[in-house]
Copies of this chain bind each other. A is one copy, B any other.
Amino acid sequence: MDQTRLTQLLNDVKNGHTEVDDALNQLRHLPFEDLGFAHVDHHRALRQGFPEVIFGQGKTDEQIAAIAEKLLARSSNLLVTRTTASAFERVKAIEPAATYHATCSAIAVRKDETIHGNGLIAIVTAGTSDIPVADEAAVTAELMGNRIERIFDVGVAGIHRVLSKRELLQSAKVVVCVAGMEGALPSVVGGLVNVPVIAVPTSIGYGASFHGLAALLGMLNSCSSNVTVVNIDNGFGAGFVASLINRG
């Protein structure tokens, strides 16, 4: 039941064409989706500056291009994660402003460059192999209107590396911390800052890393109280939540 029909119903009540009891009955069966859709609109207002997002994995180039075209009709900014260079070619044909982030296989369209975040988002990695996941977080946060700072390759085996970045870290309003192998970096970073640290385990490693399980468990058991965790390799999720916190 869309708004037109609802207006009609209320007018019918007003005009006496429909009895209150009948109207009551129709309202009781008011489909949730309509209310829901209204909420979506309402939400959209609150979500100003949020990009549209396509999870590219498992979608064909054609599908990505088709969805992108539809979304770009109503949104200035678009993010396609886990996609390919060939999908990018198709999206670029639709929207010349599209750029391809090869490290993290993401397509971004950022026509609205308004800054929504209050502070800085620091994005930290333990090693160079963690950079693709960190870049996904970075692209996400940038598209959502944040200033970000990349601090890469500061793993705990050379503790002076992360310590040397202490002041920069302490200037951030939220930190995204990306690490594979033993996933120890978020605990150290969490001890250096007073803000939320979003830990992203990566599948980097071999043997008993079990495709990121070791890093994931390490982060969940962090002795730093300001650490929360997202799924293995989920750079997008980390960048998304960091953006929400930075707007707070």
Contacts and interface: CB of A to CB of B under 8 A. Distances in A.
Interface residues of A, number: 104
Contacts of A228: 198, 228-230, 237, 241
B33 A184 contact: no
A191 B156 contact: yes
Interface stretch (A91-99, A104-112, A215-223): A215-223
Contacts of A224: 157
Given A182-B218, A220-B231, A248 B164 contact: no
Chain A binding surface SS class: helix
Q: Which of A188, A205, A209 has the most CB of B within 10 A?
A: A188
A25 to B, nearest CB: 11
Interface in A180-238: 181-184, 187-188, 190-192, 194-196, 198, 201, 203-234, 236-237
A216 B217 CA distance: 10
Contacts of A159: 36, 159, 163, 188, 191-192
A166 B39 CA distance: 10
B214 A217 contact: yes
A11 B20 contact: yes
A126 to B, nearest CB: 7
Contacts of A24: 3, 6-7, 10
B28 A20 contact: no
A115 interface: no
8 contacts: A13-B13, A37-B160, A57-B206, A157-B190, A184-B184, A206-B234, A208-B231, A225-B241
